[in-house]
Amino acid sequence: MAKNINVGVIGGGLMGREVASAFGRWFVINDSKVNPSLYAVADLNKKALQWFDSVPTCKLLTDNYQDILNSSEIDVVYVAVPHNMHEQIYIDVLNSGKDLLAEKPFGIDLGSAERIVEAIKSSGKFVRCSSEFPFFPGAQRVYQVAKSGGIGRILEVRAGFHHGSDLDPDKAANWKRQSKTCGEIGVMGDLGMHVCHVPFRLGFEPRSVYAQLQKGYPERPGGACDTWDNAMLHAWIDIDGAEPVPMRLEMKRMAPGETDTWFIEVLGTDGGARFSTKEPRTLWQFSRGKEQEWRRVDLGFDTPFKTITGGIFEPGFPDVLMQMWAAFFAERDGDLNECFGCVTPHEALLSHRLFAAAIQSQQLNQVIEIN
Ligand SMILES: NC(=O)c1ccc[n+]([C@@H]2O[C@H](COP(=O)([O-])OP(=O)(O)OC[C@H]3O[C@@H](n4cnc5c(N)ncnc54)[C@H](O)[C@@H]3O)[C@@H](O)[C@H]2O)c1
């Protein structure tokens, strides 16, 4: 019998609605040991709340998130609110004694992330941070190739996330484009955790960074915009005590031709692999033989948690979001086994150390060592 889990969502915007969709078709996961339901939603915006009227499992809609924290029916809370509210709400959730799946970037800045991590340690609650793209089958294959030790000496790592909608000067300003609500780290807070998740899980932790940060349009309909829009982070990493390896992490809101492209590439002397969501069913694998060869592998629906979906079909964002939640619940129950897990609080903190160093690098135009 699958265990029922009631989830409360704080912040019923773009991501809150995606969670409703994932739980609404949870039956696609084969032999799931959990049965999550969206039980409650808190949002300050009436219209955002109204949308959840159509979700039959939802018993509580409120404009006060304390109602979710006070409900004894709720086991897990998912928080998806603007970054300036992360710290207060995450710590309130922990104090209420509930487990937490928290949205990235896990606090508005490094200090905030440090305080959240301290609160997690003293609460003893199970907490993970959201990042879905590594759950694409192609991303998992790159991770396995890089981890296998079978590609010789790793020469280069490149990962990124490219958006292009900010190229349009008529796109309205919103909280993600203002430092006071998004954070001074701007696009790094918006897209960076997605980019760092797989490299960090492989142990590729930057020991220094040189950053090139760019801003977009200072004014948009609806207000001023002051965040960094594009970030190129050039880092050195150490792998197994060999020569330092360059790792380039790219986060862009102004990438010509890109809608929502997440990618990762790890190249070694004997082999390598590359995956991009632009080709969601394609894994590129490099091998060095007598001739240099890139092999294109046509992947199917080989997700970490098996589903009813035919193996020949291709996955998309709603599928990997559900996979991430399956990993969250499995790890919460100590049942993750060999599966890939969600971002840990420590990894979220590492990402903030990197982004804080990147801001410093930009200011000084220097390479910054990361402690
Ligand atoms: N994992 C992903 O792929 C992904 C994608 C987009 C955004 N995000 C993250 O999700 C979070 C939210 O982003 P979004 O795009 O859903 O934003 P959004 O603006 O669409 O939604 C945020 C919602 O939070 C509500 N809110 C604000 N203050 C509140 C409060 N005190 N109590 C209750 N509700 C409150 C707003 O009314 C709004 O409906 C951010 O941390 C963002 O970085 C993650």
* Domain at 134-315+340-369: CATH code: 3.30.360.10
Exposed / middle / buried, residue 264 (Cβ in 10 Å: 0-12, 13-18, 19+)? buried
Strand arrangement, sheet containing 60-62: 60-62, 34-42, 3-10, 76-79, 99-102, 127-129
**40 and 58 Cβ atoms separated by less than 8 Å:** yes
Architecture of the 3-129 domain: 3-Layer(aba) Sandwich (3.40)
Does the CB atom of residue 63 touch ligand 1 within 6 A?
Answer: no
Does the CB atom of residue 65 touch ligand 1 within 6 A?
Answer: yes
**DSSP designation for 298:** E
| CA 189 to ligand 1: nearest atom | 43
Cα 61 to Cα 40, 41, 132: the distances in Å are 6, 5, 26
The structural domains of the chain, with segments of one domain joined by +, span 3-129, 134-315+340-369
pLDDT 10s digits, 182-216? 999 999 999 999 999 999 999 999 999 999 999 99
Tokens of 222: 């609806």
Q: For the chain, how far is it from start to end, CA to CA, in angstroms?
A: 47
Q: How far is Cα 177 from Cα 186, in angstroms, rounded to an integer?
A: 7
Does the CB atom of residue 1 touch ligand 1 within 6 A?
Answer: no
Does the CB atom of residue 47 touch ligand 1 within 6 A?
Answer: no
CA of 290 to the centre of ligand 1 (A): 52
Closest CA to 348 of 9, 17, 90: 90
pLDDT 10s digits, 271-295? 999 999 999 999 999 999 999 999 9
**367 and 210 Cβ atoms separated by less than 8 Å:** yes
Quote the strand ranges of 43-115, DSSP E. Answer: 60-62, 76-79, 99-102
The DSSP-derived string for 233-261 is EEEEE--TTSS-EEEEEEEES--TT-SEE
**259 and 163 Cβ atoms separated by less than 8 Å:** yes
pLDDT 10s digits, 101-123? 999 999 999 999 999 999 999 99
What does pTM read for this prediction? 0.97
CA of 16 to the centre of ligand 1 (A): 7
Per-residue pLDDT of the chain (371 residues; tens, 9 = 90+): 899 999 999 999 999 999 999 999 999 999 999 999 999 999 999 999 999 999 999 999 999 999 999 999 999 999 999 999 999 999 999 999 999 999 999 999 999 999 999 999 999 999 999 999 999 999 999 999 999 999 999 999 999 999 999 999 999 999 999 999 999 999 999 999 999 999 999 999 999 999 999 999 999 999 999 999 999 999 999 998 888 999 999 999 999 999 999 999 999 999 999 999 999 999 999 999 999 999 999 999 999 999 999 999 999 999 999 999 999 999 999 999 989 999 999 999 999 999 999 999 999 999 999 97
Q: Ligand 1 test: best mutation among 10, 15, 109, 352, most atoms within 8 Å of CB?
A: 15
**DSSP designation for 97:** T
CA of 86 to the centre of ligand 1 (A): 10
Does the CB atom of residue 14 touch ligand 1 within 6 A?
Answer: yes
Number of other residues whose CB lies within 10 A of the CB of residue 121: 11
Cα 101 to Cα 41, 93, 169, 306: the distances in Å are 14, 10, 34, 22
Q: Ligand 1 test: best mutation among 43, 50, 81, 92, most atoms within 8 Å of CB?
A: 81
3-class state of residue 39 by DSSP: strand
